[in-house]
A and B are shown apart, each in its own frame.
Chain A
Amino acid sequence: MSKYLMNKFLYTIDRDPALVARYKEDPRGTVAWWETEQAGRILNCAEAEATTWLRFSDEERTALAEHDYPTLFDLGAHPFLTLTLFIAMFEHDYAEPLAFQREYARRLAGRTLPYPDIAT
């Protein structure tokens, strides 16, 4: 389990418009590139000081590669990060305001309390 790394992926993709577009277009390729090249980058350190041990679990990698936000929810990814990035990618594919946000809720329907633990 590497909830932290899922969150780091969502966070670092979301804040770069080019990466948001790339992840929308090519989710599997973007996840593979990111895990190899970016996962170990410590955001406030020089590149040479990268972390050496961070990896996705197979389940996490697949969920990210398939834009599978219900499974990301089940795996304990931070819901705010997932929501924000997926709104950025898909909101404009819908004609009505908030239509994607409502579909997102529908696709998560049936989840009951307690929700998966999001502590990292």
Chain B
Amino acid sequence: MAELVAVIASTHHPFYYRASQSTGQDRPDFADEWVRKITAFRETLTRARPDVLVMVGSDHFHQLWLDNMPQFLVGKAPFYDANFHNEEREFGLPRMLLSGQEDLSAYLLREGLDAGFDLAFSNELRIDHSITCPIITLRPQNDLPIVPIYTNIFAPPLPQPKRFVQLGQTIRELVESWPEDKRVAVIGTGHLSLELGGPRQFGDHGPDPEFDRKAVDWIAHGDLEKCLGEVTLESLHLPGNATHGFMDFMLMMGVAGEGRAADYVDTLDLFHTMEAYFTWYPEGGSR
């Protein structure tokens, strides 16, 4: 049986790559601290010695469009090209090629469908910065096969928050029942409070530091009860108009388990958004 060796939840700030690469006058004053924090966070994945990465993210109107929008989609392909023209243009992200763990994709699709999730699939998926950012931060050598899982946090109507949690719980069950002798890490990225294209965007901090404080506390303590008690599709409009990306953090809380405190927690208060980094080592995983 496969072993779930790490569960990692993170923000996916597309400016990290350029900030970390920049030098001289172009290097922002927060870059050194950011790189230090990312380097420490990366070590939490490295020490788990994974063979395969299940990557949870969300397409930002790149390949998936409103004429045919899936709620939850699993990539099933031997390779995934990555990053799009407008991500090169705006964020300086590089073109990438990732390899796929196609047999695990097939397993998650078959077993996920049978577990009550009508998952969409794609045999030719180009992935975007929601998945490449954590590769750049956590596994820059890009040497492991992945299974990409996309969620719709972007184009309403969206699934309910509890559905994200349930999908996370199911992903965990399926990874742990995959009959292959592999070490699997599940990595998912989302947002805390975030505003894009609205009056609260690009401030000195995230648009709602109080929400961010509560959200970090919920995730760090695995407090799904309190989180689900406060978070609704409606309430997520209040902290910022792109805050529905928080539901990917809720999915990762579902993977980590109810009441399971994170083994590693770090944050960085940046302009525009609060960065947050969490790692859990499930029982039996490498510590």
Chain A interface residues (CB < 8 Å from chain B): 4, 7-8, 11, 14-15, 17, 42-44, 73, 78-84, 87-88, 91, 98, 101-102, 104-105, 108-111, 113-115, 118-120
Instruction: Indicate the size class of the contact surface on chain B.
Output: 20 to 34
Query: Distance in Å from the Cβ of A103 to the closest Cβ of chain B?
Result: 10
- Chain A residues with CB under 8 A of B197: 73, 78-83, 104
Asked if residues B90 and A87 are in contact (CB atoms below 8 Å), the reply is yes
Q: Can you list the 9 inter-chain pairs with the closest CB atoms, starting with the nearest?
A: A79-B197, A83-B197, A108-B199, A119-B156, A101-B202, A105-B201, A109-B199, A111-B199, A80-B196
Asked if residues B89 and A83 are in contact (CB atoms below 8 Å), the reply is no
Asked if residues B65 and A73 are in contact (CB atoms below 8 Å), the reply is no
Chain B interface residues (CB < 8 Å from chain A): 60-61, 65-68, 84-86, 89-90, 154-157, 196-203, 237-238, 241-242, 271
- Chain A residues with CB under 8 A of B68: 44
Chain B interface, DSSP helix/strand/loop, else mixed: loop
Bound: A79/B241 CA distance, A: 8
Asked if residues A105 and B241 are in contact (CB atoms below 8 Å), the reply is no
19 other A-B residue contacts (CB within 8 Å) besides A83-B196, A120-B155, A120-B156:
A44-B67, A79-B198, A80-B61, A80-B197, A84-B90, A87-B90, A88-B89, A91-B90, A98-B271, A102-B202, A105-B200, A108-B198, A111-B198, A113-B238, A114-B237, A115-B198, A115-B241, A119-B156, A120-B66
